[in-house]
Amino acid sequence: MRLLNLIMVIALTAAAALAQQSLKPGSQAPDFNAEGLDGKVYNLSQLQGKVVVLTFWSTKCAICHSEMPKLNEVARRYKDKDVVFLALTMENQGKIEPYLKKNQFEFNVLPNSFGIVLKYADMDRNGTINMGFPSYFLINQNGTIAHKSDGWDKTARLDTQISQLLVSE
């Protein structure tokens, strides 16, 4: 009976640990395929060898609205470098196109990205998603997460980290 109880405790502990998800710098970035508004299909594993900046955002996010001009500056600075900027949103094309007409975004925008959010978001034991918007994931040339942050005014740090990755290649 004790052995059975011990096995049950170990199994439940392992299941709880697996249910929790938190991607950290140094871990492999989850692969994905997604179609952008430009009609191209973006596959993360095919972008190896480049620095990839993922920004998760929403049209309803006030911080995203104020961060967009700063992010556009960063994207323009690396336009002719081996850096790919992808802006992922859970919203559909019909929702974001009117927004983008008024608010230009220099990133390649990937709508309908809920499945990718599930791969990148922190989750608790109950599977509740915990992801601030905007969220940033900087992925190095080997497909490893080099930097992760979210919230207000993170673009200067993001810019510095991109520069460091390009120098180290």
Q: State the fold for domain 22-168.
A: Glutaredoxin (3.40.30)
Cα gap 147→41, rounded to integer Å? 24
Chain segment 49-76, per-residue pLDDT in tens: 999 999 999 999 999 999 999 999 999 9
- pLDDT tens digit sequence for 71-105: 999 999 999 999 999 999 999 999 999 999 999 88
Token pair for 18:
């697996």
pLDDT, tens only, 111-134 = 999 999 999 998 888 888 888 899
135 token code pair: 């969220």
Integer-rounded Cα Rg, in Å, for the chain is: 18
Where along the chain do its domains lie?
22-168
